[in-house]
Each structure stands twice: as C-alpha cells, then as structure tokens.
Structure 1
Amino acid sequence: MILDAWQTIWACVGLSLLILVVDGVLAGRAGPSKTDLVRQKKRDDRMVGLGKGVGNE
C-alpha cells in the first residue's frame, strides 16, 4: 500500500492523537489512589490534633 502525502499526514496526526489518548489514560492511573490520599490526609489531621504534626515530632 502506497500512501500519498495527505494520507501520510493524516496517518501521522491519527497516530499522534492515539499516543496522546493512551498517555492520558496511563497518567490518570498512575500515582497513589484517591483512597490512599484521603487516608493519609486523615492521618495527618489526627497527628496535628495530637501535637505531632510536621516539625513537632
């Protein structure tokens, strides 16, 4: 299959968009889960309430 110039350009644009979508999906799945973040914030709040917050250990 031989592509002309416009078909090549559209193929590159389509491939670039596909890569951006896959990158966005993978970036959304990376890092700590929201549950872990909430759990850590609650723990930090309790520690501050006990006077053991950052810088008070």
Structure 2
Amino acid sequence: MLSSRIVLRRERAIVEQRDNFLNRQRMSFSLGADALSYDARLVAARLDVVRESYDRQEP
C-alpha cells in the first residue's frame, strides 16, 4: 500500500510539472505573439505615414 502511494505521488508530480511547463510555454508564446503583433502594427502605421508623405510630394 505504501509503495502504491509513492508511485501515485510521483505520477501526480510528473503530471503537475508537465502542466506547469505547458502553461509557462503557452504564456511565453502568447506574450511573444502579442509583442510581435504590436510591432507589426507600428511598422504598418509608419509605412502609412511614409506612403502619405510620398504621395503628397509627387506632382
């Protein structure tokens, strides 16, 4: 009986470690995707400004 409890505790600990790892990876990916999306919007806004100023300069 004691050995089965130890095994179950180890399995539970492994599952919890895996879940924690996946949650950290998911959060890290989400933060990275948010930052990338923000940077892409900044670049798009800058390109719009450049395009507008270029269009104004042409006769």
Q: TM-score, normalised by structure 2?
A: 0.58
Equivalence for 1:44: 54
Gaps of 5+ in 2: 1-9
* 14-23 or 2-11, larger mean C-alpha shift: 2-11
Q: Percent identity?
A: 6
Write the deviation string for residues 1-57 of structure 1: whole angstroms up to 9, x where unpaired.
Answer: x9611111111001000000111111222263544321111122334x34xxxxxxx
Question: Which structure is larger by alpha-carbon Rg, 1 or 2?
Answer: 2
Runs of 5+ consecutive residues of structure 1 not aligned to the other structure: 51-57
| Corresponding residue pairs, total | 48
Aligned partners of 1:35, 1:26: CA distance in 2, in Å?
Answer: 15
Runs of 4+ in 1 over 4 A off after TM superposition: none
Between the two structures, name the one with larger relative contact order (CA 8 Å, sep ≥ 6): 1
